[in-house]
Structure formats: structure tokens, C-alpha cells
Amino acid sequence: MSRDVATKETVRNARRVLLDSGKTPTQRSVQAITGGSMTTVGALMRELDQEEMALGGPGGKIQEKLGALVMELHRELQQQAEETVAKGNAAAQLKIGTAEANLEAVQQDYEKLRDQLVEAERQISQLTAAHAEAVTKLNEAQLEMAIQASTLLAANKASALQDRRMEALEHKAATAERALTAYQGVTADARRRDQESFNNALDRLGTELAQAKAQLSTATSERAETTALNLVLNRDAERLSAEVRQLSNETHELKADLRNAESQLELSRGAETTQKLATAAAEGQISLLNSQLEECTIARTAAGTKIRELDIQNLALKNEVQGLVAQNDALKKGANGDKQA
């Protein structure tokens, strides 16, 4: 058995429900709906019967209609308050759901931008490493070019020295040929007298000329080797120059990529700031919606307070009706006393 405390209002409602369903409102059937003890339910039902009997006297129909109107007004106000609170809660929940969806979208965009920022930083690190490697290769190429240039300079100096030696030998050979020609111009008598001396001198000159030609041939061979070496060095220098130009171009491209990556990084950071502002705005909107929800809760509390005030007014009206009933009874008793007198 339920231990709920039955009140006059719950007993009245239970009787109304039973009557509307076509059942007789007995004490047990009413107690099964309201709970409480059978004694309390019986006492309350007797009080209600007495009130109904009082309402059935002179003027009772007006008082009954007044009570019905008060109850109807009470139910309408309560229903309107509940509908207002329900609409406010539904609107607030819809706004909160929208704001949460927007916040989730903003958070997803923020995660994407953060991943893009990490990728950009990684690319910058790779470009920086590639730039450092290119600079190292460029320095090595410049060092090799310096070495090749030094070797080329030494070869040029050696070639110049060989040219000077060959010029000296050619000059010496020309001098010997001029001396030979001058000697052949001597008169025949002197030639005959000096034939032996001339032959010896001629042999010496021939030997010196052969030596000079041999030296000239050696110098020519050395010059050819030096020229070939110069050609090889020139080709190496051109190859190194091409490599240096290529490395310079790659360096410029890496620098351009580095500047582009830095620009992308700045753009990513700017986008991240924008997303943070959007997140802050969404959080502000959620705070506003929470405030509106609190206002709806306050309105619901105010509606509950208004309903309680209406209950108090209803109770006062009931008390007033009971007072009128008592006055009516007193007037009836006075009228009966006057009749008896």
C-alpha cells in the first residue's frame, strides 16, 4: 500500500477521473489513485461531499461555476507556462546543438591547419638542409676551381718558360746560320787556307745546330704537351664552371622554395589566428546560448511561482466561498427562526 499523503485536491481529482471513466468513486478506488491512509481519504471525501452539498444550496450553482472557472483558469495558466518553458528549452537546445556543430567544424579546421603548419615546418627543415648541402657542394666546387686555376696558372707559366727557351734556341740557331753564311763569303784563298779550320768549325756548328734542333724538337714536344694539358685544364674549368652555375641555379631555386615555404608558414599562422578567433567567437555564442538557457530556466521558475500564487488565490477563493456558504447557512437559520417566531 502506498504511503503518499492524500490531499483534498488529489482526492477531488481522483473522484473526477473515476466519474469521467464511468466508475463509482468509492473510498477504496480513490485511495488506490491518491495513496495515503483509508482514514484520511474517507475524511477528505466526506468534506468534499459536504462542500458539494453546500454548493447545491441557494446560490450554489454560481459558486460551483466560480470554482470551475478558477480551476479552468489555473489549468490554462499552468499549460501555457509549461508550453512556454518547453518552447524555450527546445529553442535553446537547437541553438546549443548548432553552436556545438559549428564549434566541432572550427575544431576540425583548426586540426587541419595545425597539420598543414607541421607539414610546412617539415618542408622548411628539408629545404634548409638541402640549402646547406648545396652551399657545401658550392664551396667544394669553388675550392676545386681554385685548385684547377692554380694548376692552370702554373701550366701557363711553364708554357711561357718553354716559349722563351724555344725563342732563345731559335735565336741561337739563326745566329749560327748567319755566322755560317758569313763564313762562306770569305774569299776562296782564305777558304782553302782555312779549309781545315772551317771544316772543324763547320762540324762544331753542325753539332751545335743538331743539338739546337734536338732542343727545339724537345721544346716543341713539351709545348704540345703543355698545350694539351691546357686544353684538358680548360675543359675541366668549363665543366666546373657549368657545375658551379648549376649549383648556383639550384641554390637560387632552393632559396625561392624556402621563401615560398616561409610565406606559406606565415599564411598558415595567420589562418591559425583566424581559426582561434572563430573558436573564441563560437565559445562566446555558446556562452550567450547558455545565458539564454538560464533565462528560460528563470522564466520557468517565475511561471512556477505564478502557478503557486494562483493556487494560493484559488485557496483564498475557496475559503471565501466557504465563508459565503457559512453566511448562507446562518441566514437560513435566521430565516427559520423568524418563521418559528
Is 161 within 8 Å of 218 (Cβ atoms)? Answer: no
Cα–Cα distance between 159 and 50 in angstroms, integer? 145
Q: How many CB atoms lie within 10 A of CB 23?
A: 11
Class of the CATH-defined domain 56-340: mainly alpha
- Each domain of the chain, given as residue ranges in start order, spans 1-50, 56-340
Tell me: the pLDDT tens digits for 197-231? 767 866 887 787 778 678 777 767 777 776 787 68
Distance CA 302, CA 306 (A): 6
* Mean of all residue pLDDT scores within the chain: 80
- The three grid cell numbers given for residue 85, joined into one nine-digit string: 518553458
Q: Residue 99 pLDDT > 60, yes or no?
A: yes
Give me the pLDDT at residue 237, please. 66
pLDDT at 125 over 80: yes
| CB of 134 closer than 8 Å to CB of 254 | yes
Mean pLDDT score, 182-208: 74
Question: Could you give phi then psi for residue 187, rounded to 5 degrees?
Answer: -60, 155
- pLDDT for 38 equals 92
User: Which region among 169-178, 216-225, 253-262 has the lowest average model confidence (pLDDT)?
Assistant: 216-225
Query: How many CB atoms are located within 10 Å of the residue 225 CB?
Result: 14
Q: If pLDDT is split at 50, 70 and 90, which confidence band does 11 have?
A: very high
Q: Which of 18-27, 62-71, 218-227, 329-338 has the lowest mean pLDDT?
A: 62-71
* Dihedral over alpha carbons 277, 280, 285, 287 (to 10 degrees): -160
pLDDT of residue 187: 65
Q: Which residue is associated with the grid cell 622554395?
A: 257
CA separation for the pair 27, 42 (Å, rounded): 6
Tell me the average pLDDT across 294-314: 79
With 0-12 / 13-18 / 19 or more C-beta atoms within 10 angstroms meaning exposed / middle / buried, residue 137 is: middle
37-to-4, 34, 244, 274, 312 alpha-carbon distances in Å: 8, 9, 108, 68, 26
> What one-letter code names the amino acid at 339?
K
